[in-house]
Amino acid sequence: MSLRASVTNRGAILLGKNVACDAFEEGKPLRVVTHAHADHMVGLQKSLRTCEKVLMTRATKDMIEVMRSPLFLMSGIVETMDYGKTIQYDDERITFFRADHILGAAQVLVEDVEAKRIVFTGDFRIEDTPILDSDALIIEATYGNPACKRSFGIDVKTALISLIEKGLKQGTVYVFGYHGKLQEIMEILHKGSVVAPFIAPEKVFHISKVCERHGMKIGRLMLATEIEAKELLEHNLPCIAFFHMESKSKVGLDSFRVCVSGWEFGSAIRQTGIKEYVVALSDHSDFNGLLEYVRHSKPEVVITDNFRVSNGEPLAREIRKRFGISAFALPQRHS
């Protein structure tokens, strides 16, 4: 059997004859963007200029237009895909499925001329992601190392809510995270009935509005430049300010600070300063979750994405060892 699936040195996930996901690849007529994180938009301008079509969900398109600019996607033909919708190209069929990661995230299934199923998971969290049957599976490997297991035995969301409520008693709480994750936290706090004004700088604000348009419930959010918001922040009054991780060393230095990160395996909450904490809320599967996907997907061959994080090798090794399935990491890394 010659299944066409690969990951190139530049991070393109190749499925079948025609599809390149998440990075540009010369000669592939279809480019897929599985979601709006930067490491999945590699070479997107080039793809827009040269591919016949660029496929993504409507939510991903809306997110990119806010993150980059409304004009960013206009240099090519973008076709938005609903989950479950199939398009035919040449003699292959391409279908998107939901991935529980950030708003708009998708898994991609390509069925080739022999009806073989080639699947790319994209980034995903096992808890709420449908597992697709596959013949060839390309799986993300962010936490592909056996050390990357989260077994806290407590509900991280509940712990996050209590921590933030504790912080609000002292004044403003700054929450730092990545796009998509910040909005998930807003939703957790809103649903958890945390009563405090939410404040965000411009980009986070507009991404939140996109999330709201696509059905997320985040409650009332103020722009950080509004007078009311400025006053709250200036006087360190109880409110929650959501900033991108890159602002961590620039704002809220003397306030109560919560950083949200997936790279935490020891405990759900870890104190890192007098008023600073890290919360282990991840939008990726841990090691066990990755293996669970493979087990249920029943592929004949697995390729682990070794481009985005270098845990592809250990994951491939464990898959071979535990399931006896042919598995290897791509691209190969030479150290």
Which DSSP string corresponds to 191-212?
Answer: HTT--S-EEE-HHHHHHHHHHH
* E-only strand ranges, 46-140: 53-56, 78-80, 86-89, 92-98, 106-111, 117-120, 136-139
Choose between 31 and 37: whose C-beta lies nearer to Zn ion.
Answer: 37
Return the range that interacts with Zn ion (CB under 5 A); candidates 23-31, 36-44, 137-145, 239-247: 36-44
Return the range that interacts with Zn ion (CB under 5 A); candidates 31-39, 45-53, 168-176, 268-276: 31-39
Choose between 123 and 276: whose C-beta lies nearer to Zn ion.
Answer: 123
φ, ψ for residue 211, nearest 5 deg: -60, -40
CB of residue 37 vs Zn ion: minimum separation in angstroms?
A: 4
CB of residue 326 vs Zn ion: minimum separation in angstroms?
A: 26
Calpha distance 24→138 (Å, rounded): 17
Return the range that interacts with Zn ion (CB under 5 A); candidates 30-38, 53-61, 67-75, 274-282: 30-38
DSSP category for residue 42: B
Please name every residue paired with 77 in a beta bridge, in sequence order, or none if there are none.
none
CB of residue 101 vs Zn ion: minimum separation in angstroms?
A: 6
3-state secondary structure of 121: coil
Within 181-210, the residues that bind Zn ion by CB under 5 A are none
Q: Which two tokens stand for residue 245?
A: 């991780």
Calpha distance 74→69 (Å, rounded): 10
Indicate whether 305 belongs to the interface with Zn ion (CB under 5 A): no
Q: Which residue has the tokens 């103020």?
A: 222
Indicate whether 31 belongs to the interface with Zn ion (CB under 5 A): no
CB of residue 308 vs Zn ion: minimum separation in angstroms?
A: 8
CB of residue 81 vs Zn ion: minimum separation in angstroms?
A: 18
Calpha distance 290→252 (Å, rounded): 36
CB of residue 183 vs Zn ion: minimum separation in angstroms?
A: 14
Choose between 112 and 286: whose C-beta lies nearer to Zn ion.
Answer: 286
The span from the first CA to the last CA of the chain, in angstroms, equals: 32
CB of residue 106 vs Zn ion: minimum separation in angstroms?
A: 11
Pairing of strands 276-279, 256-260: parallel
How many chain residues interact with Zn ion (CB under 5 A)? 2
Choose between 36 and 51: whose C-beta lies nearer to Zn ion.
Answer: 36
Choose between 28 and 37: whose C-beta lies nearer to Zn ion.
Answer: 37
CB of residue 123 vs Zn ion: minimum separation in angstroms?
A: 4
> Which residue type sits at 53?
K
Q: Which residue has the tokens 């409520």?
A: 165
User: DSSP alpha helices (H): ranges in the chain?
Assistant: 44-50, 58-67, 156-168, 181-191, 202-213, 227-234, 287-297, 312-323
Indicate whether 37 belongs to the interface with Zn ion (CB under 5 A): yes
Return the range that interacts with Zn ion (CB under 5 A); candidates 32-40, 135-143, 220-228, 237-245: 32-40
Within 242-301, the residues that bind Zn ion by CB under 5 A are none
Within 62-81, the residues that bind Zn ion by CB under 5 A are none
Choose between 125 and 157: whose C-beta lies nearer to Zn ion.
Answer: 125
Return the range that interacts with Zn ion (CB under 5 A); candidates 35-43, 60-68, 226-234, 250-258: 35-43
φ, ψ for residue 130, nearest 5 deg: -65, 135
Choose between 182 and 199: whose C-beta lies nearer to Zn ion.
Answer: 182
Q: Which two tokens stand for residue 69?
A: 């600019």
> Which residue type sits at 295?
R
Within 100-139, the residues that bind Zn ion by CB under 5 A are 123
CB of residue 185 vs Zn ion: minimum separation in angstroms?
A: 16
> Where does this chain bind Zn ion (CB under 5 A)?
37, 123
